Every structure is written in structure tokens, then in C-alpha cells.
Amino acid sequence: MIRFILLSILLTLLFRAISRLWTGIVQGMQGPDTYRRAGGRAGATHVPQRGVQMARDPICGTFVVPERSLAISGSNGERTWFCSATCRDQYVASRAAAPRTAPQGRTA
């Protein structure tokens, strides 16, 4: 009896493995667009679009997607993008500690 139960469990697992392998082969032959239009499987990760404009974090140098990152606006309206709150805080602290110099004008 135990042999029958173990054999049925083994056959079930083998059938599922072969089924998933066959599904993967078929989806690979159809291409990624067909699979994406069909809704994909639950929990599938989304592949980002190619050519997304990225910004560089001035503290650690990491490239970030602006829509998913932290930003601050400078005095001239220019935005600076950061990968984390830690990098943003370091940037703000370094800007606050830097001495402000007056713009150098011409003397007559």
C-alpha cells in the first residue's frame, strides 16, 4: 500500500515537471510578446522598457530611474535624484556644510 502511495506521488511530480518543461518550451517558441499579452503567469516579474532615461546619484554613483527614486530641487530649479534616503541626507549635509561664496563680479 505504501509503495502504491509513493509511486503515485512520484508519478504526479514527474508529470508536473514534464508539463512545466513543455509549457516553457512552447512559450519560448512563441516569443516574449505573446506570453506578455496573454497575461503571463501569476507572480511573473515585469521587464522594464528599453531606453528608460536614468539619472546618476551624486553620492554613490548608482544609476536610478527617476520615477522610482528620491529627488530634491536645487535653487535653480534643477532636480537631483538619489537611490536612497541615506544618499539624499548625505548630499543635503554636504551642501549645508559647504561654504557659500558670492558670485565673483568684475571690479572696475
Q: Is 87 exposed, middle or buried (0-12, 13-18, 19+ CB in 10 A)?
A: buried
User: How much of the chain exceeds pLDDT 90, in percent?
Assistant: 27
Q: Has residue 72 got a pLDDT over 70?
A: yes
Count Cα neighbours of 39 within 13 Å in the Cβ-side half-sphere. 2
Average pLDDT of the residues in 26-35? 72
pTM for this structure? Answer: 0.45
Q: What is the distance between the alpha carbons of residues 88 and 95, in angstroms, rounded to a whole number?
A: 11
Domain ranges of the chain: 55-97
Q: Give residue 5's pLDDT.
A: 95
Nearest to 48 by CA among 70, 65, 31, 61: 65
State pLDDT tens for residues 41-67.
544 555 656 777 888 999 998 899 888
**37: confidence class by pLDDT, cuts 50, 70, 90:** low
The CATH number fitting domain 55-97, selected from 2.60.40, 2.30.170, 2.60.120, 1.25.10? 2.30.170
Do residues 32 and 42 lie in contact, with contact meaning Cβ atoms separated by under 8 Å? no
Q: What is the distance between the alpha carbons of residues 4 and 20, in angstroms, rounded to a whole number?
A: 24
